[in-house]
Amino acid sequence: MSSYTYKLYYFNSRGRAEMIRWIFAAADVKYEDIRLDKEQWAKKKSEMPFGQMPVLEVIDGNGTSTLIAESRAIERFLIKQFNLDGETDLDCAKIDSIQEYMSDLFRKMPFFESDLQKKEKLMKEAFEGPVAKAYEIVESQVGSSKYFLGEKLTWFDLAITAGSDVLLMFNPNLFEKYPKLKKLHSTVRCHPNISAWIAKRPQTPY
């Protein structure tokens, strides 16, 4: 385990920071979960590497501070720090590959469509098409072990569970045809560290 201390900067929402928070929770590592409102962010924005969040401040044992921007870069850094990757290079590549595929899916979802009627139509089409296809593919790769790659919890278990939580908000029947993914989802959410985080985190819209 690293000797760093951490401060995570984001808005008071889950969004692009929630996976980072799940990684901290899974590793049982303390950090400052700094949630900025619009006024606070306006004052802080110029200090951030790319003028956006999330940003992770990493402070080493000598007090030297480094700012890491971009959620995926932060996740990769912490995954290595906390040993939440696969045990072999091939395992790492396998979960990198499938997560990139799932990330493509999420980028195309109409979460932020403002026209409610259009959003409902687009969501229905998404769940019947690309979501169904993606979950069929992932379901076919889930084995009989506790987690995706066996008995060890990895960051992909966190990612597919946190991502599924978002989709369940729009479709409670998401797992109807995917019993192995439903079981994995339940297993991860019942992990003591994850369930503790879900219970105590601020209740905000996603």
Q: Is 197 contained in some domain?
A: no
Q: Note whether 70 and 111 are same-domain residues.
A: no
Q: What is the pLDDT of residues 41-77, one digit of tens each?
A: 999 999 999 999 999 999 999 999 999 999 999 999 9
Q: Is 34 contained in some domain?
A: yes
The CATH number of whichever domain residue 17 belongs to comes to 3.40.30.10
Looking at residue 157, its pLDDT comes to 98
Q: Is 201 contained in some domain?
A: no
Domain boundary among 20, 55, 82: 82
Q: What is the pLDDT of residues 172-188, one digit of tens each?
A: 999 999 999 999 999 99
Q: Note whether 22 and 115 are same-domain residues.
A: no
Q: Is 104 contained in some domain?
A: yes
Looking at residue 206, its pLDDT comes to 78
Q: Note whether 53 and 38 are same-domain residues.
A: yes
What string of DSSP letters covers 138-204? Answer: HHHH--SSSBTTBSS--HHHHHHHHHHHHHHHH-TTTTTT-HHHHHHHHHHHTSHHHHHHHHHS---
Q: Is 32 exposed, middle or buried (0-12, 13-18, 19+ CB in 10 A)?
A: exposed
Beta-bridge mates of residue 5: 59
Which residues, other chains included, contact 126 with Cβ-Cβ below 8 Å and sequence gap of 6+? 108, 109, 110
pLDDT confidence band for 2 (50 / 70 / 90): low
The CATH number of whichever domain residue 115 belongs to comes to 1.20.1050.10
Question: In which order are the strands placed within the sheet that holds 55-59?
Answer: 32-36, 5-11, 55-59, 65-69
Q: Give the closest residue to 153 by CA, choosing from 21, 16, 8, 22.
A: 22
Residue 72: how many other CB atoms lie within 10 Å: 13
Q: Note whether 28 and 99 are same-domain residues.
A: no
Q: Note whether 93 and 185 are same-domain residues.
A: yes
Q: Note whether 113 and 170 are same-domain residues.
A: yes
Cα 132-107-200 angle, rounded to 5 deg:
90
The whole domain housing 94 covers 89-190
Respond yes or no on whether the N-terminal peptide bond of residue 205 is cis (omega within 30° of 0): no
In total, how many domains does the chain have? Answer: 2
Q: Note whether 73 and 102 are same-domain residues.
A: no
Q: Give the closest residue to 185 by CA, choosing from 153, 155, 152, 162.
A: 162
Beta-bridge mates of residue 74: none
Would the pLDDT of 1 be above 60?
Answer: no
Domain boundary among 48, 82, 116: 82
